[in-house]
Structure 1
Amino acid sequence: MRTALSIGKGATVASESGTSSTESLADRTLVVSGGSRGIGLAIALGAARRGANVVLLAKTAEPHPRLPGTVHTAVADVEAAGGKGVAVVGDVRKEEDVARAIDTAVERFGGVDIVVNNASAIATEPTDALSAKKFDLMMDINIRGTFLLTKAALPHLRQARAGAHVVTLAPPLNMNPHWLGAHPSYTLSKYGMTLLSLGWANEYADTGIGFSCLWPETYIATSAVTNLSDGDALVQASRSPDIMADAAVEILSRPAAEVNGQCFIDSEVLIASGVTDLSRYGGGDEPILDIFVDGRTS
């Protein structure tokens, strides 16, 4: 069963860019984990086009033979898109690196308004084939990293000039036995991220911070997909990371109280905001449904 979600009262019709203009991101500061490429970078660029400041925390300081870009090229892209950016080379699993990213945001831009918990690790091998090392990596990046970054940002989010947001890239809690049995360890790590977000939404309900989750309806054309054995074919049936970026910016444009405690699917966010044609994001007529998604909503 998926959580049914909507933008809520007062939704505005989307602009041509696919996001509403309810609340400006100009001069607001995002801290994005794992933002050197893929969905994290796409969200950073989407916010930068609305005038945001972006701090990117990522490990990739030097070019990788199989992965495009570095945290430094990502910052250059942010600035080319119209925002201000700064790179922090670090590991979201390390408390000192996370603290340095938050401190950098405060020193360079005066505070933290938005956190995007994007960094994530995936391993979907059957339990009897999954190594303890991979299990630990997923728990450390997905759950511990989300916890560390959000905790470090909380004092500054409380003082944000406008409604603060924490957007975590994690799925609705789908208890369909198929998903529970497909890859239990990865599911545990992603549902752990979701549970943290839902828990914080209630724990900090009186602070004005909006805690929400965002998940793609379909495969997204990232390096993780491209590098699979049949990656070229999969990419053709995957949507662009821009759909996640536009959905994230749409969420961030809403009042924090309106999105607090919700788990969003990207296509549902955009359709609710007035977008009627998702073909701009690619993927063909029948893009591949992502994991944890039972049926098509768009």
Structure 2
Amino acid sequence: MKLRLGRLLVCATLAFGGLQFGISALHAEEAPAAPAEGAPAGPVVTHKSMLHKFKEGGWVMYPILGFSVLTIWLSTDLWIRTGKKKLAPDAHVNGAKDLFRMGDYVGAYQHCKNNPSAFSDTVRVSLSFIGDGQHATEDAMMGELNKFNAATTTRINYLSVIGVCTPMVGLLGTVTGMVTAFEHLGASGVGDPSGLSAAIGEVLIATASGLAIAIPAFMMFYVLRNRLQGSIHYCQDIVVSLFRKMPYEDLKDCHVGEEEFFAARPNWVSDEDAAAAALPA
């Protein structure tokens, strides 16, 4: 819990760092120097701070800022989650290998249960099906890996959603700002075209900000997706190597684990019928 809060604070700091810099720049601005006597008066260039530009972007800049915090949070969190050593830590792998070498499958189950990870969960679930044969064990193994893959891929897909939605939010702010600009133009007339061009430049800030968030979000989406697939294959290779040459004949009908079996004999079959069916003809 403390680690997640720390990551969130880092993401918020990175996202709001630009605003803090803009506030400092706003206070540090000095009045433009007066032109020298006799010098031709040129256009006055004003440097706008990031905070000023943020305010000019309108209300859509707040959801865009939220998307930026979410992008940094997801990228940092998923980069850690999809690492090979995160899915299959060396301590978990080496402990399971030692117990498999000794044939202590009950101990291997408890080791994996006490040290949760993608690797440990896959080995634990596979061991619980070991008494049902090779096919059931392999199906359980692949099912657990696919479950982890699906859960992590769902989180990665949020970056794709951000990449699609953020430019649309910025475009919405631009359109609403353009409507307001042309309403003022219709009311005051075309007395100063520079005022209209300035208004158009202001509303385009929202679109530019949306694109600035969408591009890194899309990049991290593809990077993390490929990173996850590589880590899944790495974990799968280790688990498969553990169960290679497994003596399934000696483990037939053995129950390794603590899972409860719910399936029972049908209640319409009596013990006498079951005993009679078991007798040789």
TM-score range, shorter chain: under 0.3
The structure having more radius of gyration, on CA atoms, is 2
Q: What TM-score, normalized to structure 1?
A: 0.23
Q: Higher relative CO (CA 8 A, sep ≥ 6), structure 1 or 2?
A: 2
Which of the two has greater helix per residue?
Answer: 2
Which of the two has greater strand per residue?
Answer: 1
